[in-house]
Amino acid sequence: MKKLKKLFVVALSALMVVAACVSLTACPPPSPEAQPVSITVAAYDTTKGTVTLDKTSYNVGDTVKVTITSKNGYEIKSINISGTNLTERIRNGAYEFSSTEYTFTANVDKQVRVEFQEYGVWKNADYVHSLTLSDYDTAKGAVTISPDRAKYARDEQITITVTTTGDYIAKNITVNGVNHSLTDGVYVFNITGDTTISVKLDVDCGVITTGNLSNIDSLTSREGKVLLDFWADDCYYCVTVLAPQLEQLVGNYNSGSARETALDIKVVKVRVSSTYNLSNTSARTPEYAIYERYASRNSSGGLPFVVMLEDGQVIGDVEGAYGSYDGFLGWLENPSST
Element (DSSP H or E) covering residue 306: strand 305-310
Class of domain 208-333: alpha beta
Looking at per-residue confidence, does 57 or 83 come out higher? 57
265-304 in b/e burial notation, b at 16+ Cβ within 10 A?
Answer: bbbbbbbbbeebebeeeebbbebbebbeebeeebeeebbb
**What number is the average pLDDT over the span 45-73?**
90
Amino acid at 156: E
Average pLDDT value for the chain: 82
Q: How far, in Å, CA of 68 to CA of 73, rounded?
A: 15
Quote the pTM value.
Answer: 0.49
Judge residue 172's burial from the number of C-beta atoms within 10 Å of its C-beta, 0-12 exposed, 13-18 middle, 19 or more buried. Answer: buried
What residues pair up with 132 in beta bridges, in sequence order?
196
* pLDDT tens digits, 72-94: 777 788 888 888 887 655 544 34
SS3 content of the chain, % helix, strand, coil (to 5): 25, 35, 40
Instruction: Evaluate whether 36-118 and 208-333 have a shared fold.
Output: no
**What number is the average pLDDT over the span 136-142?**
88
Distance in angstroms between the alpha carbons of the first and the last residue of the chain:
147
**Domain extents in the chain:** 36-118, 126-203, 208-333
Q: How far, in Å, CA of 215 to CA of 285, rounded?
A: 16
* pLDDT tens digits, 211-239: 656 677 878 888 888 999 999 999 999 99
* pLDDT tens digits, 150-187: 888 878 899 999 998 876 778 678 999 898 888 888 99
Q: pLDDT band at residue 321, thresholds of 50, 70 and 90?
A: very high
Judge residue 143's burial from the number of C-beta atoms within 10 Å of its C-beta, 0-12 exposed, 13-18 middle, 19 or more buried. Answer: buried
Q: Is the pLDDT of residue 6 over 70?
A: no
Q: pLDDT band at residue 10, thresholds of 50, 70 and 90?
A: very low
Q: Which fold is adopted by the domain 36-118?
A: Immunoglobulin-like (2.60.40)
Percent of the chain predicted with pLDDT > 90: 43
